[in-house]
Amino acid sequence: MSIKNYKFTISYDGSRYYGWEHQPNTDLTIQGKIENVISRMVGKDVEVLGAGRTDAGVHALAMIAHAHFDTDMSEKEIKEYVNSYLPDDISVTDVSIASDRFHSRYNAIGKTYRYTCYVGENKPIFDRKYVYYLDSVPDVDSMRKAAIYLMGEHDFASFCSNPRMKKSTVRLVDKIDIERNGNYITFTYHGTGFLQHMVRILTGTLLEVGFGKRSVESIPELIELKKRSEAGPTAPAQGLCMIKVDYH
């Protein structure tokens, strides 16, 4: 046996977890649950590194992670073992052997997130963990016009909740699609990477435009101000889902 680098694709319902990353004083993190199972499988501690650090309550359709360990189990056997011990709200959907140098976070070149709002008359009982319930319908056309200003490479400091951010807050967002389909409004974002709470703050700001609380034309100035306090609220966690991570 020799140590190999395994790549995992993971789906999870983040409702009851404190996010992806280890947190002090709790074992209710996605990373922690997966590490515990794999460490038990191979008989030693294994670190599982993810492509992103989804916040408490945020979901993922296809989080990518990697881990180095040695085992004589096949990828199919690893997947079956891990899923048999993971809780029902976390699932490994694929296991493959990656190159030794593959890193799920550093090698990622793009990410897609989707934020879902519900605008139906009745409360979304069965979707309530996965949507933001709005009590009126925002103007989708206005939000689309505002989103055009947000696309491209900008300093997104106004949309970052970490005031002590030492690294660059410049990011490239090359797609923001806003669609209404029946009782649902979805915001789909694609970019090279996103700052802490950035997708949720973008969504909260666009909803302010949709509800007439801020003008479409105010968005360029908001970007220039680079002040979190000037942007909209952080939309609730449960509406957000990581959809896809891109690699070369």
Alpha-carbon gap, residue 12 to 208, rounded angstroms: 29
Q: Is 246 a catalytic residue?
A: no
Q: Where are the domains of the chain?
A: 4-98, 110-246
Percent of the chain surpassing pLDDT 70: 100
CB contact set of 26 (below 8 Å; sequence gap of 6+): 18
Domains 4-98 and 110-246 belong to one CATH topology: yes
Instruction: Please identify every stretch of the chain with a pLDDT value under 70, giving residue numbers as ranges.
Output: 1
Alpha-carbon gap, residue 161 to 29, rounded angstroms: 21
* pTM for this prediction: 0.95
Task: Report the run of H or E that residue 244 belongs to, with start and end.
Answer: strand 240-246
* Active-site entry in 13, 27, 45, 55: 55
Alpha-carbon gap, residue 112 to 240, rounded angstroms: 11
**The domain defined by 110-246 carries CATH number 3.90.550.10:** no
Q: Output the pLDDT for position 164.
A: 77
Task: Please choose, from the candidates 115, 126, 232, the residue with its C-alpha nearest in 3D space to the C-alpha of residue 184.
Answer: 115
Q: Output the pLDDT for position 87.
A: 98
Pick the CATH number of 4-98 from 1.10.10.60, 2.60.120.620, 3.30.70.580, 3.40.640.10: 3.30.70.580
pLDDT digits (tens, 9 = 90+) for 112-130: 999 999 999 999 999 999 9
